[in-house]
């Protein structure tokens, strides 16, 4: 029988669990409950919430046209302007922004007055969009070491460097090194969430020792994608799936151990399904 190593850190992190629990607690088909953007990046969870009557608002325009109801604000945070808009309209909201993301909002809100905020992250990710929306002056986003090398702050301003909570820790360290060598003044706040770093370290160490690795997560989840990147660097037979039905990995006699990990927005029951399948079929 194949050996299975399931990461202890697989699945919901503290912030996501809190947000999802709150959304399910508030779900009520008789009331108008909305989430602004998906409350977490997991299609299965969103589907199950929508079956319980929680509607998804996908754009600011849609939010503007709202006249009543309660809006749940996603775990990876929203720009300040969205909260101001809801307040102006007198619409109730429940902010389930993860406290670790909120901490970044607070830092950039304070520091952006005097310093140039640089965010190490993915500019297209809603968390980064949210962080940018708390800066009083426009922030810059960099995602690679090359961009860090080329970077010059506007008007010679001092720099405050923060990171998207799910940013790769090793990449951030390299960017920090580059920034430290630059002559302008830089303050660095490591805002990578421990859950992410622990998740990544454990995934790498499992992937190093197994014949095949399965990473479960929504394709839109940046932390899941990063786990996949990390695992495939050290384990060539790494697969990234959303649910068990997508698994193409087959037992060909060469697989004695399988590692399983899952992104921070993957519900437990999906991990269980994959684990049971591997136990049965390998
Ligand atoms: Fe929060 Fe960290 Fe999760 S920032 S949402 S506990 S990955």
Q: Are residues 172 and 214 in the same domain?
A: no
Q: Which two tokens stand for residue 129?
A: 């969009």
- What does the alpha-carbon distance between residue 111 and residue 187 come to, in Å, rounded to a whole number? 10
Residue 229, pLDDT score: 96
Q: Are residues 170 and 220 in the same domain?
A: no
What residue numbers bound the domain in which 89 lies?
14-98
Structural domain ending residue among the three candidates 69, 98, 127 = 98
Kindly give the distance from the C-alpha atom of residue 102 to the centroid of ligand 1, in angstroms, as a whole number.
Answer: 10
- Say how many Å lie between the first and final Cα of the chain, rounded: 7
Q: CB–CB of 271/262 below 8 Å?
A: yes
Q: Is the dihedral of CA 6, 11, 14, 17 positive or negative?
A: negative
Structural domain ending residue among the three candidates 64, 98, 132 = 98
Q: Are residues 105 and 186 in the same domain?
A: yes
Question: Cα torsion for 166, 240, 55, 272, to the nearest 10°?
Answer: -100
Q: CB–CB of 216/273 below 8 Å?
A: no
Q: CB–CB of 76/127 below 8 Å?
A: yes
- What does the alpha-carbon distance between residue 195 and residue 76 come to, in Å, rounded to a whole number? 14
Q: Return the CATH number at 60.
A: 3.40.50.11270
- What does the alpha-carbon distance between residue 220 and residue 163 come to, in Å, rounded to a whole number? 19
- What does the alpha-carbon distance between residue 116 and residue 156 come to, in Å, rounded to a whole number? 9
Q: Are residues 237 and 183 in the same domain?
A: no
Q: Return the CATH number at 178.
A: 3.40.1010.20
Q: Are residues 67 and 131 in the same domain?
A: no
Q: Are residues 139 and 64 in the same domain?
A: no
Q: Are residues 65 and 43 in the same domain?
A: yes
What global pTM score does this model have?
A: 0.81
Q: What is the mean pLDDT of each run of 10 residues along the chain (282 residues)?
A: 95 90 92 90 86 93 94 93 96 95 97 96 94 97 96 90 91 94 85 89 97 94 91 98 95 95 92 96 92
Q: Are residues 109 and 174 in the same domain?
A: yes
Q: Helix, strand or coil for residue 97?
A: coil
Q: Which two tokens stand for residue 153?
A: 């702050």
- Number of structural domains (the chain) is 3
- What does the alpha-carbon distance between residue 110 and residue 187 come to, in Å, rounded to a whole number? 13
- What does the alpha-carbon distance between residue 77 and residue 175 come to, in Å, rounded to a whole number? 24
Maximum Cα–Cα distance across the chain: 63
Q: Are residues 119 and 151 in the same domain?
A: yes
Ligand 1 pocket by Cβ (under 6 Å) = 13-16, 75, 98, 100-101, 165, 193, 195-196, 264
Residue 82, pLDDT score: 97
With the most atoms of ligand 1 within 8 angstroms of its CB, the residue from 100, 103, 163, 225 to mutate is 100
Q: Are residues 219 and 143 in the same domain?
A: no
Q: Are residues 107 and 184 in the same domain?
A: yes
Residue 42, pLDDT score: 80
Structural domain ending residue among the three candidates 82, 98, 114 = 98
Atom number, ligand 1, closest to the C-alpha of residue 19: 5
Residue 44, pLDDT score: 83
């Amino acid at each position: 029988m194949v050996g299975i190593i399931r990461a202890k850190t697989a699945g919901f992190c503290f912030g996501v669990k809190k947000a999802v629990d709150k959304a399910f607690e508030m779900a009520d088909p008789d009331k108008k409950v909305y989430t602004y953007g998906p409350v977490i990046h997991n299609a299965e969870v969103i589907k199950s919430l929508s079956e319980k009557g929680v509607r998804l608002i996908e754009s600011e325009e849609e939010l503007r046209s709202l006249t009543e109801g309660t809006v749940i604000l996603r775990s990876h945070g929203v720009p300040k302007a969205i909260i101001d808009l809801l307040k102006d309209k007198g619409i109730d909201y429940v902010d389930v922004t993860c406290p670790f993301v909120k901490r970044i909002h607070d830092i950039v809100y304070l520091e952006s007055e005097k310093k140039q905020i640089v965010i190490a992250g993915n500019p297209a990710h809603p968390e980064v969009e949210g962080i940018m929306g708390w800066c009083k002056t426009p922030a810059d986003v960099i995602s690679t070491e090359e961009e860090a090398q080329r970077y010059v702050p506007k008007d010679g301003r001092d720099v405050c460097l923060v990171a998207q909570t799910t940013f790769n820790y090793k990449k951030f360290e390299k960017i920090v090194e580059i920034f430290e060598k630059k002559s302008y003044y830089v303050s660095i706040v490591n805002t990578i969430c421990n859950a992410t770093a622990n998740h990544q370290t454990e995934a790498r160490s499992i992937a190093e020792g197994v014949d095949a690795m399965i990473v479960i997560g929504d394709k839109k989840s940046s932390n899941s994608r990063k786990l996949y990147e990390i695992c495939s660097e050290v384990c060539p037979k790494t697969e990234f799936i959303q649910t068990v039905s997508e698994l193409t990995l087959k037992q060909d006699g060469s697989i004695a151990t399988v590692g399983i990990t899952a992104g921070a927005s993957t519900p437990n029951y999906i991990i269980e399904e994959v684990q049971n399948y591997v136990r049965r079929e390998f």
